[in-house]
Amino acid sequence: MDASITVSRSRAASDISGTDGTAVVRAWAIVGAGFISFMLYVVYHWVTAPYFGPTVLPPGVEVPLQFKIGTRAVEIGMSLVWIYFIYTQLVKPIRQTGQPNTLGLLGIGFFFAIFWDPSMNWIQQGCVYNPYAFNMGFLSGEIPGWMSPRGNLLPEPLIAWSGGYPGFLIWGCLFGLAAMRWAKSRFPAITNLRLGIVGVLAVMVFDMVLEMALIRFTGIYAYPGSIRALSIFAGHWYQFPIYEAIFFGGWWGLCAVLLYFKDDKGLTWVERGVEKMEFCKRSNFRKGMVRAVAVIGFCQTVELFIYVLPMPLLTANADPFPDDTPAFFTVGTGMCGPGTGLACPRPDLPIQRRNDLDKFSGAPQISHEQGAAVAAR
């Protein structure tokens, strides 16, 4: 009799195909929990570091008024957008059904993606931020294996991106969803693979247009360390590397594709089976938490492989910073430039590692121009 009870229980835990119906969501939740634990470890070491604090503009370095206005507009606008999505996609659905919408969970996943935002600077600096924005520096220097120096000084715009990452990325997903729905209505026989490609390409275009507008008109960030042959407006401070749209828009687009293909219960692939987990059966809260962590696991994994790993390799081969790069991006942050003791990256200089600053602190220091003059004699 005990054996028959065991058999019946094992059958109840399996779906019609004989496989564990909770395996997918369980695996993604474990992956998500691993990423969250790692990020908390890095954040702890960042906030307890002696250097923790804002990167402020030094005397004599000014930010033009238009970029002050643009930066504050992004901070306020994106905060309002995120509050709107929190209410419509998390609070309101929980009140009505006990569960948040997947779009809201994806917004949470995008919030955690801020952790990897400056990952293109892993080997050497390529992106810069406006220190006029509210910032506390950033945690890059505490990520194990981070190479480029002074990563802690990068003025990551925390208020702007806390709303901007979920807000902008949710907008992009909605754009990708609209493109896929249009393609499906226009070509009913289109395969799922081609439909997914349509969605990813649409988000890539969305990213390119949005980022170029943000850079040019708000001055909140820029990509001076880019490969000019692969950039739009190459040679100017507002240049935009096309590969940013390909890699960042690529992982972002796959999140839109995930959102498109839901089952009849409104669950994406990574959430399916959550209702079968014993841990979740009697608690809407635990069910929502497992779904959220699973979605975070998907977002983090796709971002890591499609964006975080390839972008530093491209930045390591970037051309020099454009001559018209505003001083508030370089000298203003203290990361590189005249008077900072560290030259901004360029191909004729060796790549500086963060431990090189201490290793060679006692060595004679001469400027690049002085070194070129000595070599010419």
Both structure tokens of 37: 């634990």
> Do 121 and 151 touch, CB atoms closer than 8 A?
yes
**Domain residue ranges of the chain, discontinuous segments joined by +:** 24-346
> Do 51 and 137 touch, CB atoms closer than 8 A?
yes
pLDDT above 70 coverage of the chain, percent: 89
What pLDDT is stored for residue 280 in this prediction?
A: 82
The answer to pTM > 0.95 is no
* pLDDT at 10 > cutoff 50: no
Chain centre to alpha carbon of residue 355: 26
Name the nearest CA neighbour of 112 among 59, 159, 165: 165
* Comparison of pLDDT for 18 and 370, the residue scoring more: 370
* pLDDT at 168 > cutoff 90: no
Count the residues in the chain. 377
What pLDDT is stored for residue 372 in this prediction?
A: 54
Instruction: Categorize the per-residue pLDDT at 12 as very low, low, confident or very high, splitting at 50, 70 and 90.
Output: very low
CB atoms within 10 A of CB 159: 17
What pLDDT is stored for residue 20 in this prediction?
A: 65
Spatial distance between the Cα atoms of 229 and 289, rounded to a whole number of angstroms? 45
Render pLDDT for 94-110 as a digit per residue (tens, 0 to 9).
999 888 999 999 999 99
What pLDDT is stored for residue 302 in this prediction?
A: 97
- Give me the amino acid identity at 211: E
Q: Where are the beta strands (DSSP E) in 105-149?
A: 128-129
* pLDDT at 5 > cutoff 50: no
Q: What are phi and psi of 221, to 5 degrees?
A: -160, 175
> Helical H runs in the chain?
2-12, 23-47, 65-86, 92-97, 102-112, 158-186, 192-218, 242-260, 278-281, 284-303, 310-315, 356-359, 368-376
- Which range is least confidently modeled, 181-195, 269-283, 357-371? 357-371
* pLDDT at 166 > cutoff 80: yes
What pLDDT is stored for residue 366 in this prediction?
A: 54
Both structure tokens of 199: 């969605």
- Give me the amino acid identity at 309: L
Render pLDDT for 62-75 as a digit per residue (tens, 0 to 9).
999 999 999 999 99
Spatial distance between the Cα atoms of 303 and 300, rounded to a whole number of angstroms? 5
Helix pair 158-186, 242-260: axis angle to 10 deg: 60
